[in-house]
């Protein structure tokens, strides 16, 4: 299993969870039912340890993205509590870069919001672009970048927030298979180099197994934690590895069972 390096000895002594989600439920108004509520998440309890990489799997509509939004502080749970080690950084399926800014200026904006002094922002943006292997792209506009390059800039911008927890909502789903494969490697490398904690939402089982130390499967509507797997496979991993394929098959069967159970209700 890959090892990670915490940011400091003090962090090891004082921080026991990058995220702690305790008995969280979330309801939304039910369409077409005045005063009615639709339960989307039901009594979710989930911890992410410092430096841990956790993937969150489940069928479409099970509440994965809702849970990530709650962890990011974009919405409030209907019940339960969420605590994170500092303010998390959130990365979406769409890059959400500002098209009127260059790649470097998108990152510098995050640094400015974090309070980094103006004279330090350019060098830090260059360092982060180098970390995601986009050296020399500081002055490029968004339209000049490929889809994979845009997601690298979005990742660098997320890292610019200096968060201890990175929340990723299917960030590679819109990319072609080869680009996605390359970015799996890059994300793994960056996770190992920085020691950041990652909570990664996906519906792709092999992606979940390739990336994670732990895979969490959510049930379908309302979302609950159905089962967890510790992924104790050596790195680097490939999607086509036999061990990755075998564990993916096991998880897929569980996922299908959850979908069938939902279909009977």
The structural domains of the chain, with segments of one domain joined by +, span: 9-88+163-263, 97-162
Strand partners, 46: 21
Predicted local distance difference test score (pLDDT) of residue 262? 67
Closest of 114, 102, 123, 110 to residue 155, by C-alpha = 110
What does the pLDDT read at residue 37?
86
Quote the strand ranges of the chain, DSSP E. Answer: 19-29, 37-48, 53-57, 79-84, 89-91, 165-169, 197-201, 214-218, 225-230
> Which of 37, 93, 39, 31 shows the shortest CA–CA distance to 62?
39
| Whether pTM exceeds 0.85 | yes
Instruction: Please say whether the beta carbons of 19 and 197 come within 8 A.
Output: yes
- Could you give the strand order of the β-sheet that contains 79-84, starting from the edge strand earlier in sequence? 37-48, 19-29, 79-84
Tokens of 214: 């732990």
If you average pLDDT over every residue of the chain, what do you get?
Answer: 89
Q: At what angle do helices 103-114 and 147-159 cross, to 10 degrees?
A: 20
DSSP one-letter code for 223: B
Q: How many residues does the chain have?
A: 265
* CATH number, domain 9-88+163-263, options 1.10.1370.20, 1.10.645.10, 3.40.190.10, 3.40.50.300: 3.40.50.300
Residue holding tokens 């989930």? 46
3-class DSSP state of 228? strand
CA-to-CA distance for 35 and 183, rounded, in angstroms? 45
d(CA 258, CA 152): 34
Structure tokens at 211: 């990336």
Read off the pLDDT of residues 155-199 as tens digits, 9 standing for 90 and up. Answer: 999 999 989 999 999 999 888 999 999 999 999 999 999 999 999
Side-chain-facing half-sphere of 210: CA atoms under 13 Å: 23
Arithmetic mean of pLDDT, 128-146: 92
261 or 82, greater pLDDT: 82
* 31 burial via Cβ count (<10 Å: 0-12, 13-18, 19+): exposed
Q: Is the CB of residue 64 less than 8 Å from the CB of residue 223?
A: yes
pLDDT tens for 73-94 read 999 999 999 999 999 999 987 7
Q: What is the pLDDT of residues 196-247, one digit of tens each?
A: 999 999 989 999 999 999 999 999 878 999 999 999 999 999 999 999 999 9
Element spanning 149, H or E: helix 147-159
Instruction: Report which of 116, 121, 190, 120 is spatially closest to residue 152, judged by C-alpha positions.
Output: 190
For residue 7, is pLDDT > 90?
Answer: no
pLDDT at position 1 over 50: no
């Amino acid at each position: 299993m890959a090892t990670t390096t915490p940011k400091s000895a003090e962090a090891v002594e004082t921080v026991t969870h990058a995220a702690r989600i305790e008995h969280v439920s979330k309801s939304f108004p039910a369409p077409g039912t005045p005063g009615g509520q639709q339960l989307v998440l039901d009594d979710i309890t989930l911890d992410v340890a410092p430096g841990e990489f956790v993937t969150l799997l489940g069928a479409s509509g099970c509440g994965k993205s809702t849970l990530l939004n709650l962890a990011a502080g974009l919405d409030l749970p209907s019940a339960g509590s969420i605590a994170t080690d500092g303010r998390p950084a959130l990365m979406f399926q769409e890059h959400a870069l500002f098209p009127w800014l260059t790649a470097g200026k998108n990152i510098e904006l995050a640094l400015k919001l974090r309070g980094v002094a103006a004279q330090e922002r350019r060098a830090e943006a260059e360092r982060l672009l180098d970390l995601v292997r986009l050296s020399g792209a500081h002055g490029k506009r968004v339209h000049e970048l490929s889809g994979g390059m845009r997601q690298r800039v979005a990742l660098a911008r997320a890292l610019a927030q200096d968060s201890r927890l990175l929340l990723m909502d299917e960030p590679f789903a819109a990319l072609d298979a080869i680009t996605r494969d390359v970015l799996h490697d890059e994300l793994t490398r960056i996770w190992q180099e920085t020691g950041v904690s990652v909570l990664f939402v996906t519906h792709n089982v092999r992606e979940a197994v390739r990336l994670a130390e732990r895979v969490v499967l959510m049930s379908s509507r309302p979302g609950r934690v159905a089962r967890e797997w510790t992924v104790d496979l050596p790195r680097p991993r490939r999607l086509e590895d036999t061990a990755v394929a075998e564990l993916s098959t096991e998880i897929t069967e569980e996922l299908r069972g959850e979908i069938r159970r939902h279909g009977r209700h």
